[in-house]
Structure 1
Amino acid sequence: MEFLGTTQTASYCGPKKARGIGMLPPVVPARVTQECYQPYYPPGCPYPNSWRPSLSYKVSNTQTCLNKEATCRSALRPPSILPGDRSALFCRYSPHDWDQSNQLQIRAAEASRLWASRLMGDSMRLMQDKDQLTRQMQEGTCRNLGQRLSDIGFWKSELSYELERLLNENHSLDAVKRQLECAAEELNCPLQAALECLYQREKRIGIDLVHDNVEKNLIGEVDLLKCCQERMRKLAQRIDIQMRDNRDAQHALERDLEDKNSAEFIEEKCLNLRNTSNCISFFHGVEKIDGTISVPETWAKFSNDNIRHSQNMRANSIQLREEAQNLLDVLLDQMWKQFTNTNLAFSARIAEVTDVKNKLQVELAKTLQEIFQTENTIMLLERSILAKESPLKVAQTRLECRTRRPCVELCRDMPQFKLVNEVFTIDDTLQTLKLRLRETQDTLQLLFMTKCQLEHELAVKANTLHIDKEKCMGMRKTFPSTRCLRICP
């Protein structure tokens, strides 16, 4: 082993020679030079006093060496020693110095090993403590994520249940609204019949032009029908406003439920992450970013407020539906009583009504043809929009892949400009096509509404012809709008 601060030719680096009886002591030169020697010590180990070779050996043995030298000269003439050689023989250490140096090296090595052993033990304990702390923190985070998932699941079930009830209530309220609107429209036929009856009675000649009870009842029937229509329309407007409020509550619930689904997906993904997962990575500085906008109390209060608002809207809707049903019952009873009290005869201008009916049938046929062409146009637009989605996905995927280029490779080069331009162009194209699709769909809905209105008008005209031919000429024996009002969708 080679020691720092020493050379392999130093006298104390070789094996220690045994000293026995009869062996001559080593020849020590009369002049000993001092050599600086600094052994290696580990960090934290104090340096001992500076060690120097002992000079006492030279003083105590000088006379003995001179006597032995004289004896050797007498026995055998020694060779002549040059001054340079004599100086070289004097550069030696004593055995005591050699032993002391070895002891120092051994103590330094033991101190180094002791320090390294203590450091290794402390390091192992530190690693075990930190590993245990990391596992405990990770287990605690998993428990918190699991609790968070259970909380999200609870509010999801509450929101889903309330949303389902609100949708059912909206459907019922919409049915009542349509029933009121249809009932108000259906009243046009008996009102027109009453007005037509009054007009026909004005053609009476002579003494027959009498302001009798029949004419009074006809006038009362007209006023009652108009009042019923006005009340139904006002109630339908109130229902329409309530349906808007219900849709606002529905959208709030749907947005909250959608956010809960997204949060649940993210929390499940975070909960399923392990130390061996492939998708984990470093995100330096992410712990310093605080993008939260709520606390658990406000988070739960937000969903609770949405549910309470939806419950209030449902209560208002139920009240309006009950009011609408009561109104329909009362109005139907009043109109039936008025009709039974009037029992007037109607006369219809069959030719005029027939002509209007024929025109409506022609318009309905043209409207049906236009609806067919519009549906084909919508189908072509949807296919065109669907065909643009794949190129948009390709362009956006390329852009996303290019964002993972390392360091300076994130170059805003020509492909980057082309890809960005391609995404904007395709997106603009999709927006244009979607706008045109919405316009076409609105047009189709308008055509359907026109079709429904034409069909409704045709039904009214057919009913009018039926009343004019059979009921009016037969002096009205039944009230035809009663059944229509009760089963109107």
Structure 2
Amino acid sequence: MDLLGSTMTATYMRPRSTATNFLPAISTMASSYKTHFPQLALKQSLNVPWRSNTQYKLASIVPGFGSSSRASSELLNTNMKFYPSNRASLFTRYNPDDWHKSNQTNYRESEVARHSAERLRLDTARLIQDKDQMTRRSQDTTSRTIGERVNDIVFWKSELNHEIENMVGEINMLNEAKKRLEKALAETEGPLQVAQECLYYREKRMSIDLVHDEVEKNLLQEVETIKSCQERMRRHLDRANSQLASNRAAQHELEKDMNDKLMAHRIDDKCHQLRNASDGISYHRGVETFEIKSSLPESWAKFTDDNILLSQSERAASAKLRNDIENLLNVTSNEMWSQFNTVNVSFANRLSETADTKNKLQVHLAKTLQEIFQTEMLIEALKKSIRDKESPLKVAQTRLDERTRRPNMELCRDSAHLRLVNEVREINDTIQNLKLRLQEAENTLQMLVNTKVSLEHDLAVKANSLFIDQEKCMGIRKSFPSTPRLVGYT
């Protein structure tokens, strides 16, 4: 039944339950009441429990209502009327005007705050946009300047690289000319020694043959010619060493400048590629105060230009020296060859017959060596053929051995067995024939080797006869270097 003075929403036995999601969170309610409703703080300080209207009504009339079931039943059976407890009497009250004024104040303050925040937001957005554009323009200008610097470095790098390649090529060519000169100078020692030994051997002539003839005069002239050529070669060799040192010094300066350019290009290119989203960017406090005093753009470009001009000057001197060396080698080669041919004319008639015999022996020796080579190839082929027959023989014998394990009546002397037996015999006969032929080939090879030894011995005898018959002169003069060797090509 309904209690007197209660609203329709309050019932005696069953208070209406409200949805759990209707009220805000406790923390939210508390934070809002703490600021705008100070009376809630009084409630919390008094620690008044929250109870329903019914509970207040019962508790105000009958103490201990919540714990006595007997008293509760008695109250239900009577017609007594109860009044709800006055919960609002515990808090400070405001009138409706205060409530409306508070709302209007909050509205005005909220509007003022929103307008101020909006103006700040718009001004800040414009400021951010302006500064962003200025920063982007500044960064683009800096990137373009660094890019122009990179292009300048690339240009001078290409010039340096071109000059370094030219200088390296010039150094290599001068080195090659120097090596040729050294080889040509070394090659003159042989002819000089030959001419001096010829003069020494001719001193052993006896009786009327010990004369100051044309051969001796030409030999003396040959010695003087070779010594004169050697002296000129040594002078040009000293010049080449000095020029190579100058070329390498110029190359060192170019390469040093090139290495600096490479490092600067790598650094500037890395700086040119850096973006706001790049990895590795960080703060470097005070780096903008660092002053560079090494060079200015004008002195920077002049330094590289001077290095290139110096290198070009050294290259021109080196090219001239190479031409001088080339001319010297050709002149000395012609002089020595001319004198050598003049000396050899007097020995030409006495060389023909003995040289012809020696050439024939050499032809026979070459043919014998060719036959030895072919016989050795035949022996290897026979050995390989014998080895190749081992596997078929093993297969045939293995087949025969496996077939002996056939049981009982299956152990038949059939056509397959006869064929295997014949195959084993044929392979064995083949191997024996090949071995006999191998023995014959080895005997033939031994005979050819003996013939080769005999021919080589006969050639040695003929060489010794030439050495003696020609008064020990023409034999050693055959070792005179060729024209390519005299100019240092080989």
TM-score between the two structures when normalised by the length of structure 2: 0.48
Max Rg structure = 2
TM-score normalised over the length of structure 1: 0.48
